[in-house]
């Protein structure tokens, strides 16, 4: 079973620079904690054909894909229509989603409008994922070949809420054998990224059984080593070698 997951972020405002897209960071961090990997993040405009082709292609590569955005009540929110056309299904009202919407409006002393009620529309056959941070619920659509598509609201706090409340628990059950990578972090100061690499190359430092990443910023460079659990001894050895090679530049945090 593939443990890679793809994200498709929908919204013309994300491409125009008007809105910062933080979904990949949120999803990637949540997946890493449970031993899964965000393998691709695709950002596309609110265009039906583009949405359909992006989702179709993602599901050809992975078993689980996450779509965010385009679930609001306005004319530029086209995600439901695009996906209904792609999967040849109807758009129906979710009783659970509608009840949650009415409660949300009532709690605020407001009368709900038909336009607002449209946010409780979901794809026929999808499971409603109640959004405790906003209006439009998320959805999970189970597909042939044991694939699944999650459809989430776009606002960052709502995306994070549905992810934590519904998607992460489902993924833990679906991928119960997944194990997070072991990670070691070191921070240096007073030495540039290229000079670090020069030192490592000169010493013959190699990381064939693990991944190494360099993250410069603020006058420091963070070095991240990660490996599968079966390579934990090699990871420990590599960390020790790095500490020795960079001992005069390490920052203890």
Q: Domain ends where: 131, 158, 174?
A: 174
Q: Taking Cα atoms as reference points, which of 24, 22, 8, 15 lies closest to residue 59?
A: 8
Give the SS3 label for residue 223. Answer: strand
Q: Domain ends where: 174, 203, 221?
A: 174
How far apart are the C-alpha atoms of 38 and 228, rounded to whole Å? 16
Bigger pLDDT: 142 vs 209? 142
Q: What is the 3-state secondary structure (H, E, C) of 36-104?
A: CEEEEEEEECCCHHHHHHHHHHHHHHCCEEEEECCCCCCCCCCHHHHHHHHHCCCEEECHHHHHHHHHH
Note whether 216 and 124 are same-domain residues: no
Angle, helices 79-87/48-61, rounded to nearest 10 degrees? 60
CATH number, domain at 170?
3.40.980.10
Neighbour-count burial for 221-242, b at 16+ CB within 10 Å, e otherwise: bbbebbbeeebeebbeebbebb
What spatial distance separates the first Cα and last Cα of the chain, rounded to whole Å? Answer: 38
Note whether 165 and 226 are same-domain residues: no
Domain count, the chain: 2
pLDDT over 90 (residue 28):
yes
Average pLDDT for residues 15-24, to the nearest whole number?
Answer: 92
The pLDDT of residue 1:
60
How far apart are the C-alpha atoms of 253 and 185, rounded to whole Å? 10
Q: Which domain holds residue 239?
A: 182-251
Note whether 103 and 216 are same-domain residues: no
How far apart are the C-alpha atoms of 131 and 152, rounded to whole Å? 9
The structure tokens listed for 202 are 């000169």
Contact yes or no for 27/7 (Cβ under 8 A): yes
Instruction: List, in sequence order, every residue forming a beta bridge with 37; answer none if it has no partner.
Output: 4
Note whether 129 and 15 are same-domain residues: yes
The pLDDT of residue 174:
96
Q: Domain ends where: 125, 158, 174?
A: 174
For the segment 111-159, what is each residue's pLDDT rounded down to a tens digit?
Answer: 999 999 999 999 999 999 999 999 999 999 999 999 999 999 999 999 9
Note whether 155 and 217 are same-domain residues: no
Note whether 98 and 204 are same-domain residues: no
Give this prediction's pTM: 0.88
The pLDDT of residue 98:
96
Note whether 65 and 138 are same-domain residues: yes
The pLDDT of residue 2:
74
């Amino acid at each position: 079973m593939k443990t890679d997951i793809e994200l498709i972020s929908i919204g013309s405002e994300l491409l125009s620079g008007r809105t910062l897209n933080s979904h990949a960071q949120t999803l990637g961090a949540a997946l890493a904690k449970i031993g899964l990997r965000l393998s691709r993040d695709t950002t596309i405009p609110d265009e039906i054909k583009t949405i359909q082709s992006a989702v179709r292609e993602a599901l050809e590569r992975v078993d689980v894909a996450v779509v965010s955005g385009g679930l609001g009540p306005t004319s530029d929110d086209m995600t439901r229509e695009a996906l209904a056309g792609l999967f040849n299904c109807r758009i129906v009202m979710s009783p659970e989603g509608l009840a949650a919407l009415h409660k949300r409006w009532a709690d605020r002393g407001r009368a709900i409008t038909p336009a607002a009620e449209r946010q409780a529309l979901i794809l026929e056959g999808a499971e409603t994922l109640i959004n405790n941070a906003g209006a439009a619920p998320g959805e999970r659509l189970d597909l042939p070949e044991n694939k699944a598509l999650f459809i989430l609201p776009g606002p960052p706090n709502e995306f994070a809420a549905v992810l934590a409340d519904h998607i992460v628990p489902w993924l833990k059950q679906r991928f119960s054998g997944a194990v997070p990578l072991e990670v070691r972090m070191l921070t240096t100061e007073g030495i540039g990224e290229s000079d670090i690499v020069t030192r490592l190359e000169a010493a013959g430092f190699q990381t064939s059984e693990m991944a190494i990443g360099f993250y410069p910023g603020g006058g420091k460079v963070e070095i991240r080593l990660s490996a599968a659990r079966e390579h934990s001894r090699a990871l420990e050895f590599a960390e020790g070698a790095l500490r020795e090679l960079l001992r005069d530049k390490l920052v203890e945090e």
